[in-house]
Structure 1
Amino acid sequence: MQPTHRTPRHRHRYRRLVRAACVLAVAAATAATAAPAQAAPVWGPVTPVDAAADGARANQQSQGFGLTADGRHALFGSAATNLVPGTGAVRYGLYVRDLRTGRTELASRADDGTPLAEADEQGGISADGRYVVFSAAVNGVYDVYVRDRARGRTQRLTDGTGATGGTGDPGSYQPAISGDGRRVVFMSSRADVVPGAPVEPGTRNVYLADRVTGAVRLVSAGADGQPADGPSENPAISENGRRIGFSSKAGNLLPAAPGGTAGLFRPRATTLYATDPATGAVVLAGLAADGTAGAADSVLRFSPDGRYAAYGLFVPPLPHGKSRTELFVHDLRTGRVRAVRTSADPAAICWASETAAITADDRWIYFSGGCSATVIPASQATYDLQRQELATGRTEFIGPAGDGAPQDGAAVRPFVSGNGRTVLFDDSSTNLFPGDPSPYGWQVYARTLGHR
């Protein structure tokens, strides 16, 4: 069952991360069959990101949403009330942390600077950190906004009237932004985002807004221009703005087969698509290694140049019916698909969280997961933050906890700077900082690679 797209729906994302970790933990555990050890990279200490200017830790859970190309500014969302003075009434806000100076600012503000009380739990930041995109509720209607941090102004991209012409949640959500801040993709259940588009009221579709021209167009459409005939959401955009992705259960997105008609491919589960906004051509992105469409998690990420798509696919369940997700990378230029595994043994049981990040030179992919030769007790399972060299498969471990001991929680959802030297991630561990465990669950951290 698809949940409705209201803010309480997104409060389940923390539980979703916990559930994913627990489910896969039952299925597999430590990387007992990991690839041969390599020289350990010299990573600096773990640094809290969801913190106030005086260093006070967030007093509620937080989640990372992005990192600038230079690794200096991190975007995160939090229900905390102690991060920025004067924002105690903010139930959920999006914040930008300067990792160099320690300054934290609230980005989810109205044009007059007033804090918006209820931001949605998703957002994005431009490559230089100037623009932050988010969705927030004003008068009960969710709209997409772009905050210009340099000018201190906020632009509303959707009109906020709330008119759907029918049933459904009248809002716009899940925004993502290109590196230059010009293009914004988002999901909306409104029927009037593009005047004249034959969109059914209350259905979820993906749109692209050009902030320079003001044009907004439907992205989740088939080769004949008709809107997707199933729910489409979870948009993503490459840093260069040349690739857009989304998840969908539609059956009319692919071109007609020779001698046949469009709509022959009707997925039974969520499927991931990629499109070139210049041509509108849609291709299947969420493929398994054998080239078939896999049942995918809803999250898709691109390399900055849009060449690679990284995503999680649900693979056959293990004993006791426990499912697991493996990470895949699809080279959209050559069509090659490969699994990202930390073991060279094809019989090894591998797992990964659904999100991964790729560096600007397409050399490294950052992810969380591991492999095991056997099914072992859940209490021994780990979600370790790692990076793998795409060309060679060489894997490097980015942990551990501050005292050198294994983490007692999971590290997931990495974002990485363009050069791969700074990584942002969510972590549920209580031993990253000995003597100072976080009682709030998921928190946001950063780590920087030192010079050799």
Structure 2
Amino acid sequence: MHHSYRTTHHSRRLALGAGLLAAVALVTVGAAPARAEQSFGPTVQLDLGAGGVSADQQSTSLGISGNGRIALFSSSATNLVPDAAQVGFGLYVRDLRSGRTELVSRADDGTPLTALDESAGISADGRFVVFSSGAAGVAPGQPANGAYNVYVRDRVEGRTRLVTVGSPDPTGQNDIGAYHPALSADGRTVVYESARTDLVPGAPVQPNARNVYATDRVTGRTRLVSVGVDGQAADGDSDNPTISADGSTVGFSSRATNLLPPTPGSSAAPALGAQRYTTLYTRDLHSGSTALAGLAADGTAGSAAPVVRLSPDGRYAVYALGTYPLPGGKARTELFVHDLRTGEVRSIRTSTDPAALCWADTTAAISADDRWVYFSGGCSTTIVHAWQARFDLYRQDLRTGATEALSPAADGSLQSGAAAVPYVSANGRTVVFADNSTNLLPGGTTDNNWHVYARTRSDD
């Protein structure tokens, strides 16, 4: 079970090229957003080995420390560190100041790990990295059952510790793993998904159903996040958790229909009915309350791409919803930001033309001051086929609505490929992203693999 589940997650991130472009289908560009060359420095590549050698296989961005110094990414490259050839697929950090690349997916004894989920997270200071692995001998206390577990790597002490401890000798858990971890800024709280039933003894969960959990690494306490109303078991799978930097709020996707109280006079959750499409929720870890996050601009729940990002303070959720209809019955995804405090929902677009149809990658990032949203997508007022749709990197000022383009080619022309999966430092000055263009750097590149890049504001 855990092998096929891991493959699904792994391919979701690394197959960015096909996934991004196919998601747009037929769509019907207002004024071009302003370029950002004056405020941002040049684009620099991050998936580099000793001597500045470029990764010889594809790489994908996974995060950046709060201070903007340490970037986290995954790669299938064999030439980034001396023992990378043993890995096949690994998790790395790059120090943007020193230029040093480090393999962080290592066992407690330093052995490179070969069985990895594609998700990972990094603490604000860059010290802790969380990941999931199905390898044997990763850390003390690990069950010897071959299942995936969640671990935290301490880069300062050079130690790896087990997070998903569970009950001793969990009967029936031999082939059930834990995946898709995320980490709070202080490295204390880890969230993840799992179909295990031993993580919180007595918790209301259905057998074989995926749920979201949060573990406090200081106290060792694990709690169930995806819990139904009145303490009931969620009646559908919950996945893809994320956590706000301050550790207060967890976001996740779910097909459950009982996470919220029913609408008065109805047995159905608000705006959901009996539909089993994926939608997005947030859970306040302090109050224990769950809220519907994946709303369209009219306040109705939409069919969501199964990814939600939160602002560092947990106030805003950013996500993509499927939008219908389009010529030929096709669909597209459009990006939204939901203010969870006021309830306001706005569409994030690269065009001010209300007639333009816009699309977006399912990932986006918000700076710590709640001002800037970084995203990949585009808009058009004419019919564009999926393989012609552009996914450029932008940032939008949530106060003014002004939008800047961040992924031009080295000569200022349009990039030749697509940008995706942005992450931004807490101060909004450094953004890391994945891109498969061949012309982002002076002189270009010789391959069209996905690589990881960064741009940093050159002013204050």
Fold equivalence (TM over 0.5):
yes
Does the aligned pair in 2 maintain the 1:162–1:171 contact within 8 Å?
no
Residues 48-447 of structure 1 correspond to what in structure 2 (within 5 A)?
Answer: 48-139=45-136, 140-159=146-165, 165=171, 169-258=175-264, 261=267, 265=272, 266-377=274-385, 380-439=388-447, 441-447=449-455
Does the aligned pair in 2 maintain the 1:312–1:327 contact within 8 Å?
yes
SS, match of residue 354 in structure 1: strand
Change (3 A) 1:3 1:15: farther
What amino acid is aligned across from residue 97 of structure 1 in structure 2?
A: R
Residues 1-12 of structure 1 correspond to what in structure 2 (within 5 A)?
Answer: 6-12=5-11
Change (3 A) 1:71 1:403: same
Task: Please give the alpha-carbon distance, in whole angstroms, between the structure 2 residues aligned to 1:236 and 1:338.
Answer: 21
Does the aligned pair in 2 maintain the 1:47–1:446 contact within 8 Å?
yes
What amino acid is aligned across from residue 63 of structure 1 in structure 2?
A: T
Does the aligned pair in 2 maintain the 1:169–1:202 contact within 8 Å?
no
SS, match of residue 10 in structure 1: helix
SS, match of residue 231 in structure 2: coil
Instruction: Give deviations 1:268-318, integer Å, cap 9, x for gaps.
Output: 311000010111111100000000000000110001111100000010142
Task: Please give the alpha-carbon distance, in whole angstroms, between the structure 1 residues aligned to 2:36 and 2:88.
Answer: 45
Change (3 A) 1:438 1:65: farther
Instruction: Give deviations 1:191-223, integer Å, cap 9, x for gaps.
Output: 211112232332110000001110001100022
Does the aligned pair in 2 maintain the 1:163–1:170 contact within 8 Å?
no
Change (3 A) 1:162 1:317: farther
Does the aligned pair in 1 maintain the 2:147–2:174 contact within 8 Å?
no
Task: Please give the alpha-carbon distance, in whole angstroms, between the structure 2 residues aligned to 1:149 and 1:38.
Answer: 37
Change (3 A) 1:78 1:257: same
**Structure 1 residue aligned with 2:17:** 18
Does the aligned pair in 1 maintain the 2:2–2:176 contact within 8 Å?
no
Change (3 A) 1:106 1:37: closer
1:227 CA drift (Å): 2.3
Does the aligned pair in 1 maintain the 2:184–2:244 contact within 8 Å?
yes
Does the aligned pair in 2 maintain the 1:141–1:160 contact within 8 Å?
no
Change (3 A) 1:257 1:160: closer
Residues 19-34 of structure 1 correspond to what in structure 2 (within 5 A)?
Answer: 19-24=18-23, 26-28=25-27, 32-34=29-31
Task: Please give the alpha-carbon distance, in whole angstroms, between the structure 1 residues aligned to 2:225 and 2:33.
Answer: 44
Aligned residues: 449
Does the aligned pair in 2 maintain the 1:24–1:323 contact within 8 Å?
yes
Q: Name the stretch that deviates more: 272-281 or 33-42.
A: 33-42
SS, match of residue 274 in structure 1: strand
1:256 CA drift (Å): 3.6
1:117 CA drift (Å): 1.5
What amino acid is aligned across from residue 6 of structure 2 in structure 1?
A: T
Change (3 A) 1:323 1:258: closer
Does the aligned pair in 2 maintain the 1:167–1:202 contact within 8 Å?
no
Task: Please give the alpha-carbon distance, in whole angstroms, between the structure 2 residues aligned to 1:398 and 1:68.
Answer: 20
Task: Please give the alpha-carbon distance, in whole angstroms, between the structure 2 residues aligned to 1:169 and 1:292.
Answer: 38
1:377 CA drift (Å): 4.8
What amino acid is aligned across from residue 73 of structure 2 in structure 1?
A: F
What amino acid is aligned across from residue 350 of structure 2 in structure 1?
A: T
Runs (5+) with no aligned partner, structure 1: none
Change (3 A) 1:178 1:5: farther
SS, match of residue 22 in structure 1: helix
What amino acid is aligned across from residue 53 of structure 2 in structure 1?
A: A
Instruction: Give deviations 1:251-272, integer Å, cap 9, x for gaps.
Output: 1100243455565743331100
Q: Name the stretch that deviates more: 317-326 or 88-97.
A: 317-326
Q: Name the stretch that deviates more: 138-147 or 253-262.
A: 253-262
What amino acid is aligned across from residue 10 of structure 1 in structure 2?
A: H
Change (3 A) 1:288 1:16: farther
Q: Name the stretch that deviates more: 370-379 or 411-420.
A: 370-379
Runs (5+) with no aligned partner, structure 2: 137-145
1:64 CA drift (Å): 0.7
Task: Please give the alpha-carbon distance, in whole angstroms, between the structure 1 residues aligned to 2:267 and 2:385.
Answer: 49
Does the aligned pair in 2 maintain the 1:6–1:169 contact within 8 Å?
no
Task: Please give the alpha-carbon distance, in whole angstroms, between the structure 2 residues aligned to 1:319 and 1:169.
Answer: 45
Task: Please give the alpha-carbon distance, in whole angstroms, between the structure 2 residues aligned to 1:286 and 1:73.
Answer: 31
Does the aligned pair in 2 maintain the 1:166–1:201 contact within 8 Å?
no
SS, match of residue 17 in structure 2: helix
What amino acid is aligned across from residue 277 of structure 1 in structure 2?
A: L
Does the aligned pair in 2 maintain the 1:242–1:278 contact within 8 Å?
yes
Change (3 A) 1:56 1:334: same
Change (3 A) 1:168 1:282: farther
1:37 CA drift (Å): 4.6
SS, match of residue 190 in structure 2: strand
SS, match of residue 241 in structure 2: strand
